[in-house]
């Protein structure tokens, strides 16, 4: 028999190695997939075809004939549904391809696309492990993967850009109102279109003070267009991680954000809330913001605002309430009542349930939930909603209610007897939901036994 030759040197061709791997995955794995069988058959057919047409074959031509298998789902971005090239980790712990999650965040979203969890910050951390695994998979299947992206170009600030920004800031600090309005509009645009310029504001306290100077001379709300441009610029500047501490600790920033949150246009109020959310990503800022009096106007915006403004307010309230000391303040300012009304109206359920679950560890929150009919509302969401995350939050809140307010066990027991809501979740929910549901069922068993013996 003629000996098969390989272009470029000795050794088994890559295609034969691929065939061996495919066959091994079928023979050695009891739980092999149909795809593994198909892959082995495709390798054999390609080898046979090439053998019949030529005693000598080129590995490169073989690799073109062999179809590329679909990548493992762990390597696919949930947003693009494509193989990730630059995997990064979001604050929720989920991994996405950088350009697609960046677009999601730039569009104003404050939640994780997969879990619906409200994000504590928008920092994207490279997932080096997944990147390495994807590279190995690509190498194995002859796929070229681009190198890791670098953001150095975004960090370059040209002298011309810096000089232009400084000139505009001087105008805001010393010119007449008409010139200040023009400069404010330009600074807003620059800090949006050239993200690298945001770093300039972290170089000195004077820079932020110059920016906001027009709002210090008289009524903040006298010129709503000027106020909106400057507050939006504060939001843009606050996105830069290195600025968060300096901006929040500048004595004029938080009072102006809170004033704008109370009395600005709807867009100004929304952007004020978004700025507070962004600043609160830094733990040391959370208490500073609450002490400055931001919670009450945020709650008012949550109650009165339009969908985007409500979302920004909810994100900020969630972030601020992560600190235990702030939970009591959030409850005393009326957060529970506002959230329960919104949830009953099925408004922004994902974000508001996350806040409710966070605050449910506070005893006053549990009392208010009981008075406002939270038990029946949460049970109805578990029955109606398709989101695993929402069901997890509902059952987590009910679990806390059961252990802190025994009077609600009867209401839960009646629903369980009729609908089996919690039993169904204990069978079909996520692992976290199952644990909480089984905990409630155990509590109900003891309650029923006690009722029958008295």
pLDDT digits (tens, 9 = 90+) for 70-120: 888 899 999 988 899 999 999 888 999 998 998 888 777 878 999 988 887
Is 87 strand, coil or helix? Answer: strand
Report how far residue 18's alpha carbon sits from residue 143's, in angstroms, rounded to the nearest whole number. Answer: 14
Predicted confidence (pLDDT) per residue in 190-215, tens digit: 998 888 889 999 988 899 999 999 99
Q: How far is CA 59 from the centre of its chain?
A: 44
Question: Is 360's pLDDT higher than 80?
Answer: yes
How much is the pLDDT for 5? 33
**How many C-beta atoms lie closer than 10 Å to residue 182's C-beta?**
16
DSSP 250: S
Q: Which two tokens stand for residue 155?
A: 């960090």
Phi/psi of residue 388, each to 5°?
A: -60, -40
**pLDDT above 90 as % of the chain:** 56
Lowest mean per-residue pLDDT among 12-21, 154-163, 306-315, 414-423: 12-21
Which residues neighbour 389 within 8 Å (Cβ) at sequence distance 6 or greater?
A: 115, 116, 117, 350
**pLDDT: which is higher, 43 or 361:** 361
- CA atoms 229, 231, 236, 240: torsion sign: positive
Report the C-alpha dihedral over residues 21, 22, 23, 26, rounded to 10 degrees. 120
Please give the mean pLDDT across all residues of the chain.
Answer: 84
**pLDDT above 70 as % of the chain:** 81
Please give the average per-residue pLDDT across 335-363, as a whole number.
95
**pLDDT: which is higher, 420 or 51:** 420
Question: Is 385's pLDDT higher than 70?
Answer: yes
How much is the pLDDT for 138? 86
- CA atoms 297, 303, 305, 310: torsion sign: positive
How much is the pLDDT for 91? 83
Question: Is 18's pLDDT higher than 70?
Answer: no
The contacts found for 148-156 with CB under 8 angstroms, 24 or more apart, are 148/86, 149/85, 149/86, 149/98, 154/195, 154/196, 155/196, 155/199, 156/196
DSSP for 98-114 reads HHHHHHHHHTT--B-TT
First-last CA distance in the chain: 91
Question: Is 155's pLDDT higher than 70?
Answer: no
Token pair 């004939």 is found at: 65
Confidence of residue 144 (pLDDT cuts 50, 70, 90): confident
Token pair 């090239």 is found at: 85
Report how far residue 339's alpha carbon sits from residue 337's, in angstroms, rounded to the nearest whole number. Answer: 6
Report how far residue 29's alpha carbon sits from residue 175's, in angstroms, rounded to the nearest whole number. Answer: 76
| pTM across the whole model | 0.68
Please give the average per-residue pLDDT across 349-372, as a whole number.
94
How much is the pLDDT for 125? 82
Question: Is 55's pLDDT higher than 60?
Answer: no
Predicted confidence (pLDDT) per residue in 118-140, tens digit: 887 667 788 888 998 898 888 88
Confidence of residue 16 (pLDDT cuts 50, 70, 90): low
List helix spans (H) across 175-263.
177-193, 205-212, 224-239, 244-249, 253-263
Confidence of residue 27 (pLDDT cuts 50, 70, 90): low
Question: Is 66's pLDDT higher than 80?
Answer: no
Confidence of residue 13 (pLDDT cuts 50, 70, 90): low
């Amino acid at each position: 028999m003629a000996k098969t030759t390989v272009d470029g040197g000795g050794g088994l061709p890559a295609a034969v190695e691929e065939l061996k791997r495919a066959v091994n995955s079928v023979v050695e794995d009891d739980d092999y997939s149909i795809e593994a069988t198909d892959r082995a058959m495709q390798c054999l057919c390609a080898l046979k075809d090439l053998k019949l047409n030529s005693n000598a074959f080129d590995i490169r031509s073989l690799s073109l004939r062999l179809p590329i298998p679909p990548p493992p789902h762990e390597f696919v971005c949930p947003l693009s549904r494509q193989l990730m090239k630059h995997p990064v980790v979001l604050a929720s712990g989920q991994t996405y391809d950088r350009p697609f999650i960046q677009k999601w965040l730039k569009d104003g979203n404050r939640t994780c696309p997969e879990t619906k969890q409200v994000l504590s910050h928008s920092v994207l951390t490279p997932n080096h492990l997944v990147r390495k695994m994807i590279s190995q998979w690509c190498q194995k299947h002859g796929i070229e993967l681009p190198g890791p992206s670098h953001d150095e170009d975004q960090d370059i600030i040209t002298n011309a850009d810096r000089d232009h920004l400084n000139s505009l800031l001087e105008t805001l600090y010393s010119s007449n109102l008409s010139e200040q309005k023009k400069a404010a509009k330009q600074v807003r645009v620059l800090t949006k279109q050239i993200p690298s310029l945001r770093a300039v504001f972290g170089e000195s306290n004077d820079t932020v003070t110059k920016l906001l100077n027009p709002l210090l001379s008289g009524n903040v709300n006298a010129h709503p267009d000027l106020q909106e441009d400057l507050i939006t610029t504060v939001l843009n500047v606050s996105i830069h991680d290195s600025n968060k501490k300096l901006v929040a600790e500048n004595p004029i920033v938080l009072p102006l954000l809170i004033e704008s949150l109370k009395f600005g246009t709807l867009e100004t109020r929304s952007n004020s809330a978004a700025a507070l959310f962004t600043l609160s990503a830094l733990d040391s800022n959370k208490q500073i913001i609450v002490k400055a009096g931001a919670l009450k106007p945020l709650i008012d915006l949550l109650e009165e605002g339009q969908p985007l403004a409500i979302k920004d307010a909810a994100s900020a309230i969630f972030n601020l309430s992560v600190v235990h000391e702030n939970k009591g303040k959030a409850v005393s300012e009326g957060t529970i009542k506002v959230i329960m009304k919104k949830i009953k109206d099925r408004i922004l359920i994902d974000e508001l349930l996350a806040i409710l679950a966070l605050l449910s560890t506070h005893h006053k929150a549990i009392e208010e939930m009981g008075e406002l009919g939270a038990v029946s509302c949460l049970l109805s969401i578990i029955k109606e909603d398709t989101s695993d995350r929402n069901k997890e939050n509902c059952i987590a809140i009910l679990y806390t209610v059961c252990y802190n307010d025994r009077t609600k066990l009867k209401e839960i027991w009646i629903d369980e007897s009729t609908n089996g809501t919690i039993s169904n979740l204990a069978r079909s929910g996520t692992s976290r939901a199952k644990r909480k549901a089984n905990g409630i069922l155990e509590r109900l068993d003891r309650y029923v036994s006690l009722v029958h013996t008295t």
